[in-house]
């Protein structure tokens, strides 16, 4: 009876198999073979000229100098000599320009009986040659807004004022009595005006210790 049951079960299973070939299971996540990675070398790539041959490892190649790769020398300037018939153009030499400064130290008033004048204004002026050339016949000329008759000492000169030297001069003009005198000083050399200075109110020289003691003395600039 047991054998009959096994035979019946075998026949039943064979009847259920309707496929000629049994299906095979599809593999999950198939692996796709990849290429072999390239090998990157640390040695730089050297580009050779078209006529050069590939470099042999460990051998230094020297390219001979030919007519195609000969270096062209840089052009050099040549100085041509001037023909004897041509005369060289004259060279202009620059000369130093004169430079002067004027300092009005102060003023005072006095009575000038010698020249028959009443009140006069005295101005104490320092001329400084700040340039690099001497100033021959250097003068200082004083003017006043209320000037009367021309005073002989309104202009005082020195024969020469060397470069980087100074001189203090006393100038006098005939002025109105007890008036605030506006003055003007011209500095000249060989009758050419170098500088003109105005002073609307000349401070009393006594405030600065009185009149200078070195009037007319040429000395280095202090």
Q: Residue 146: what pLDDT?
A: 83
Report the range out of 42-56, 63-77, 99-113, 123-137 with the highest average pLDDT.
123-137
CA 111 to each of CA 39, 118, 124: distance values in angstroms, whole numbers, following the listed order:
114, 5, 17
- The count of other CB atoms within 10 Å of the CB of residue 170 is 18
In the chain the domains, ranked by start, together with CATH numbers, are: 100-206 (2.60.40.10)
User: From start to end of 42-146, where are the E strands?
Assistant: 100-111, 119-129, 135-144
pLDDT confidence band for 57 (50 / 70 / 90): very low
Q: Residue 66: what pLDDT?
A: 45
- Give the separation between CA 151 and CA 172, rounded to whole angstroms: 7
- The count of other CB atoms within 10 Å of the CB of residue 44 is 6
């Amino acid at each position: 009876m047991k054998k009959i049951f096994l035979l019946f079960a075998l026949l039943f299973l064979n009847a259920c198999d309707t496929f000629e070939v049994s299906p095979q299971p599809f593999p999950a996540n198939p692996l796709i073979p990849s290429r072999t990675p390239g090998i990157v070398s640390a040695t730089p790539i050297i580009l050779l000229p078209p006529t050069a041959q590939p470099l042999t490892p460990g051998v230094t190649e020297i390219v001979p100098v030919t007519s195609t790769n000969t270096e062209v020398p840089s052009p050099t300037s040549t100085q041509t000599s001037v023909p004897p018939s041509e005369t060289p153009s004259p060279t202009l030499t620059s000369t130093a320009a004169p430079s002067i400064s004027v300092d009005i130290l102060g003023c005072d008033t006095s009575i000038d009986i010698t020249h028959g004048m009443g009140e006069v204004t005295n101005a104490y002026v320092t001329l400084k040659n700040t340039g690099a050339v001497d100033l021959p016949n250097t003068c200082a000329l004083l003017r006043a807004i209320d000037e009367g008759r021309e005073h002989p000492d309104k202009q005082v000169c020195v024969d020469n004022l060397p470069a980087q030297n100074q001189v203090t001069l006393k100038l006098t003009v005939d002025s109105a009595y007890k008036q605030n005198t506006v003055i003007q000083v011209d500095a000249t050399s060989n009758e050419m005006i170098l500088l003109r200075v105005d002073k609307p109110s000349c401070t009393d020289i006594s405030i600065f210790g009185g009149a200078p003691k070195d009037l007319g003395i040429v000395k280095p600039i202090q």
